[in-house]
Chain A
Amino acid sequence: MFYRDKLSFEDEEFKLKVGFLHFSSCSGCQVAFFDMFEEAVEILDTVELVYSNMLTKRRDLPRMDVAFVEGALCIEDPHHLHLVKELQKKAKLIVAVGGCASFGGVRRLSCGNQLPQPQHQSFVPITEVDLVKPKVKYAIPGCPPNPSLLYSFLLALLEINEDFLLPFELMTFSTRASGMDIFVEVVNKGFCVGCGTCSTACPTRAITYNYECSRPAFNPGLCVYCGSCLAACPQSFKPYPQPTYT
């Protein structure tokens, strides 16, 4: 088992220790994560929040089963360098939450490389940092990811639903994502069915729908590199079970 050495759901004491860590980010992902708990009453019994810069008081990082991480790592920030070392030591499994942590996100637009202004610094997503890479098992797209996605993800993690988790595992190998993926990965390869799901998934309207040619349209100037469009496209992956009807 990846986050517990011994797993038994019959074990009534089972509590998954989760933490939410914050690198350079707008905290939108963390807000979405806590938003999810409104709906997640049934999993509250099995999850214990051991660390969050927003909700817990402790400053040191405790040991945890799963670290949810938002934001990109700032190369110039000593606090981030310390945090990533701690993360490697204290977390059994790491989940990159949102575009910034997974694919660089809006931090890709930074014109780096010096302190103090964020737009003047340089950032890397944690999926690119070798020290923690072996532990970054999943990347979740979105800016921020929908609370309903985070909820389904956490449920899948608790139930070890590998079909559900597989695409998020594949996403960790892809350190870049953008609206251009819709063209390079789907349209250019002859797979676009013109369904419009990518445009509904885009948080910034960088992908819209072009009714003239019945295909998506991409405005690179609006893209925040979150990966939602390709992740939502039915042609990128669909290992979900078709609904079974009785």
Chain B
Amino acid sequence: MVALNSRFLLGKYREAFVVDGKGENPIKAIFTLMLKFGLIDGLLTVSKDGNSPRLIFKAEDVEIPVRNSCFGVNALLKKAVQKYRLSRLAVFGPACTFDGLNKTQYFGIGCNWTKTAVALKISFLCPGVLTDTAFLSEVVDITGKRAGVSRFYFQKGKLHYQLKTGEEITVPPSFHHRYVNSACRYCLNLSGKGTDLTAVYLKERDKVLLIVRSERGLSTLAQVQRSSPSTLYFRKADRKEVESLISFLKEKVILNITDIIERVELGFPVPKWNDNKLRKFYRLWNSIDVNSEEEVF
């Protein structure tokens, strides 16, 4: 049964750490070290602004997206696996990137033998992605002023933007919900289940909350720590820090569920071959059948 419990929202995980990169974004530092020490042979992600995919081979070239805009990561997947024959690839993006990648690995469609080519999957906790123009409209709607967004982060269960003007604003989920990519309004995997690690950007640029899901994620972090012990500092996240994330996810996912239900009720079409998963979700969600009259007697 689907329930909005923490397992449904955040997925299964082993540990949650707050990682301090001492002046550097810890995720960027992890990839830099991994490339430097040969733990991976490539990084597939997008540019800092999220607008174009990047396939990175050298430690000094590492860049990662810092705002909730991330498009086209998998467009370079075939190049990475079939052209450059990378066999220890790391991938960084939102959960849906990994839906595409995991599907390619599981079925074998799209790119040949991807199953054995990926060494690490890191997702970021994703509140829904926006294009440049959608960011501008959203900021105008919230602040009344025109300004671009330079980064996003979470603090005390709220989504925040840092604007290009330097100003920091809180983004109410109900506003945000109107401007995200349409598909993000039906997404139930904001936290990146199906990856090794999920990074949650925090207010301090050099800190992330890292949700460790897999043994591979844990051992990778241990290897990174061993190769350069003084670059990253780990502390176990406390319960409150994880709970604040869950409260954000709950607020956003309820909006998404409302849209899924409305979509099914309106009878909007779904892609062929999809086996109508939204209708199945709808049925499941509405399967609580309480006959109050019977209960009275």
0/1 string, A204-240, CB within 8 A of B gives 1: 0000110101100000000000001011111111111
Interface residues of B in 175-216 (CB under 8 A from A): 181-184, 186-187, 193-194, 196, 213-216
Cross-interface CB contact of A211 among B72, B93, B96, B194, cutoff 8 Å: B72
- Chain B interface helix/strand/loop/mixed: loop
Q: Which B residues lie within 8 Å of A191 (CB)?
A: 182-183, 186, 270-271
Report yes or no: B273 in contact with A196, Cβ–Cβ below 8 A: no
Please, which residues of chain A bring their CB within 8 A of the CB of B53?
A: 196, 209
B271 near A214: Cβ-Cβ < 8 Å: no
Q: Does A150 contact B (CB under 8 A)?
A: yes
Interface string of A184-214 (1 = CB under 8 A from B): 0110011111111101110000001101011
From the candidates B73, B115, B277, name the one contacting A195 in the complex (CB within 8 A).
B73
Q: Is the CB–CB distance between A245 and B109 below 8 Å?
A: no
Question: Quick check: B275 and A237 within 8 Å, CB to CB?
Answer: yes
Nearest-CB residue, chain B, relative to A207: B75
Q: How many residues of B contact A (CB 8 A)?
A: 58
**B113 contacts A148, C-beta separation under 8 Å:** yes
Centre residue among B93, B103, B269, B275 by max chain A CB count within 10 A:
B103
Q: Is the CB of B78 within 8 A of A200?
A: yes
Binary flags per residue of B84-116, CB closer than 8 Å to A gives 1, else 0:
000000000110110111111011111111110
Q: How many Å lie between the Cα of A190 and that of B268 in the bound state?
A: 10
Given A148-B113, A209-B75, A234 contacting B103 (CB threshold 8 A): yes
Cα A199 to Cα B104 in complex, Å, equals 13
Q: Are A228 and B71 in contact (CB under 8 A)?
A: no
- Set B76, B186, B271: member contacting A186, Cβ < 8 A: B271
A48 contact set on B, CB distance < 8 A: none
* Interfacial chain A residues near B100, Cβ < 8 Å: 195-197, 232-234
Contacts A211-B72, A214-B51 known; A240 to B110 CB distance under 8 Å?
A: no
| In the assembled complex, B43 has its CB within 8 A of some CB on chain A | no
- Is there contact, CB below 8 Å, between B75 and A232? no
Distance in Å: Cβ of B39 to nearest Cβ of chain A: 19
Contact with B along A120-147 (1 / 0, CB 8 A): 0000000000000000000001100111
Q: Which residues of B (19-42) have their CB < 8 Å from a CB of A?
A: none
A170 in the interface, Cβ–Cβ < 8 Å? yes
Indicate with 1 or 0, residue by residue over A175-188, a CB within 8 angstroms of chain B CB atoms.
00000010001100
Residue numbers in A under 8 Å from B71 (CB-CB): 194-196, 211, 214
A110 at interface by CB-CB < 8 Å = no
Chain A residues near B74: list those with CB within 8 A. 195-197, 199-200
Whether A117 is near chain B, meaning CB under 8 Å from some CB there, is no
Cα–Cα, bound, A243→B269 (Å): 29
Verify A196–B109 contact, CB threshold 8 A.
no
Tell me if B77 counts as interface (CB < 8 A to partner A).
Answer: yes
Q: Across the interface, which residues of A come within 8 angstroms of B269, CB to CB?
A: 189
8 Å CB interface, B45-100 against A: 51-53, 71-79, 93-94, 96-97, 99-100
* Whole-angstrom distance between the Cβ of A151 and the nearest chain B Cβ: 7
Residue of A with least CB distance to B75: A196
Note all chain B residues with C-beta closer than 8 A to A211. Answer: 51-52, 71-72
Query: Does A114 count as interface, using CB distance less than 8 angstroms?
Result: no
Interface residues in B210-257 by Cβ distance below 8 A to A read 213-216
Establish whether residues B273 and A199, one from each chain, have CB atoms under 8 Å apart when the complex forms: no
* Chain A residues whose C-beta falls within 8 Å of the C-beta of B131 in the assembled complex: 213-214
Contact in complex: B51, A245 (CB < 8 Å): no
Q: Say yes or no: B110 contacts A232, CB within 8 Å.
A: yes
Smallest beta-carbon distance B36→chain A, Å:
27
The answer on a CB contact under 8 Å between A200 and B75 is: yes
Least distance between A184 CB and chain B CB atoms (Å): 9
Is A185 touching B272 in the complex (CB atoms < 8 A)?
Answer: yes
10 further A-B contacts with Cβ under 8 Å, apart from A185-B271, A199-B74, A214-B72, are A164-B107, A171-B273, A191-B271, A197-B110, A200-B78, A201-B109, A231-B107, A233-B100, A235-B183, A245-B196
Residues of A within 8 A of B (CB): 39, 141-142, 145-153, 164, 166-167, 170-171, 174, 181, 185-186, 189-197, 199-201, 208-209, 211, 213-214, 228, 230-243, 245-246
